[in-house]
Structure 1
């Protein structure tokens, strides 16, 4: 792997921003050329014509688990590997082999039907009822939530909405439930009203931008009011070992530090 430019490594200020706010934005985390190659594959599989808006009949199309070369390369740039090390810890994450599901959003006046606030739960996925999927305070099964922008995304292009600092409230909700954690149904019982006062930011950026987010960050889709479809992947970064909230050597990752601070 090429040596990473030290100027592109996450700064201490960015790490602190992640701990406090729950995310960090990395511009040009992967090359635009990979985004273009990825979009070509997604357009092919979408059944839509990029030059014919009349073919964009639905507000959102979900395309499946993508492990093609452009997607694997996008998830494994030196910049991102260094960021994974800083946020999760060296040796504590698994190299992404794919970029998961792409919700492709098209300009539309219609409700996409999936624009509610939520967190991405991470275990119990064998249950056919997705509201029974679970998360626990050690984020079993997920080290990071990641947003990979494969197209330019402006304010009107259905950027993911993020509730800044909401990960702290979710940590406090999960802590009493221990290893069993809570289901998505339980977490969403109050519509995530506990985080309603959090400031909000939109995950905008140019193709090649990546948002690395704490796994407990509350976020939401929204309707597309722009003119060009939005292509984004939202894979997890998988852990190589469980999070540890009480390390004898004190070497807690920023993901762990954020949880520990929330529980003080």
Structure 2
């Protein structure tokens, strides 16, 4: 597709940071009013009372795909479309029709045990997700995106990111060619030895979006705050999905090459 021109997109500095770090934060990527509408809708499917913490008995509630208007609108603002054009290439991506799954996290004293460093591998048909694969052209995925639908501070279970880990993963994937590498194999060598990377937290007010390289290593963490955290992590799909991958001339491809 071809996007409408936007008065605001990524600066040269932001693009350089994406290439170096593997992600870029966009503030006010969608209106806070849309975040309010999304949370209100999600609460209808959560077995708890939004104003009674005593009913928040589960550390994580996982909700399915949502394609209703507020969800689609949040994913398709002019600034996001402009950023997709800059990173993936004009005509090289598909508009998001649904927001994907929501792992809604609640304050809890114990670790829910669903963390673990990973990348979002993008193709496979094995029932065991550890056998799904990623390859060096990122078949089936242009970006990982983190949409914050509530304010997320350091105690509110922000996603942890290994800064610059996308390059280590790209080096690990390159020799495997089109077949790629399974998630299990990537875990076994700590994602190309990226364990020493500096870490960052995906914090920000509702309306913030993190656009992440598909090879960026990240993990969930326990919620130590006081308010439920609402975040979605849909992919940006290539225009020729499911077999297509990242345009080799794109900023995303350049970031993997280093």
Paired residues for 1:75-154 under 5 Å: 75-124=75-124, 126-154=125-153
2:253 corresponds to which residue?
Answer: 256
CA-CA distance at 1:4 after TM superposition: 2.2
CA-CA distance at 1:54 after TM superposition: 1.2
Take 2:192 and 2:106, find their aligned partners in 1: how far apart are those partners?
Answer: 28
- Whether the 8 Å contact between 2:186 and 2:192 is mirrored in structure 1 is no
- Residue 172 of structure 1: SS of its match in structure 2? helix
1:226 corresponds to which residue?
Answer: 225
1:212 corresponds to which residue?
Answer: 211
CA-CA distance at 1:193 after TM superposition: 7.4
- Residue 81 of structure 1: SS of its match in structure 2? helix
1:55 corresponds to which residue?
Answer: 55
- Residue 229 of structure 1: SS of its match in structure 2? coil
CA-CA distance at 1:190 after TM superposition: 3.2
- Whether the 8 Å contact between 2:150 and 2:229 is mirrored in structure 1 is yes
CA-CA distance at 1:72 after TM superposition: 0.2
Structure 1 stretches of 4+ with a deviation exceeding 6 A read: none
Deviates more, 1:108-117 or 1:132-141: 108-117
Take 1:104 and 1:193, find their aligned partners in 2: how far apart are those partners?
Answer: 30
Cα RMSD, aligned residues only: 1.3
Take 1:183 and 1:204, find their aligned partners in 2: how far apart are those partners?
Answer: 29
Structure 1 residues not aligned, in runs of 5+: 246-251
What do residues 37-85 of structure 1 show as CA deviations (whole Å, max 9, x unaligned)?
A: 0001111111111011111111111100111110000000000000000
TM-score by length of 2: 0.95
Take 1:70 and 1:92, find their aligned partners in 2: how far apart are those partners?
Answer: 24
- Whether the 8 Å contact between 2:92 and 2:247 is mirrored in structure 1 is no
- Residue 46 of structure 1: SS of its match in structure 2? coil
1:177 corresponds to which residue?
Answer: 176
TM-score by length of 1: 0.93
CA-CA distance at 1:244 after TM superposition: 4.3
CA-CA distance at 1:2 after TM superposition: 6.9
2:202 corresponds to which residue?
Answer: 203
How many equivalent pairs are there?
A: 252
What do residues 170-228 of structure 1 show as CA deviations (whole Å, max 9, x unaligned)?
A: 00000011100011111111344711111111000000000000000000100000000
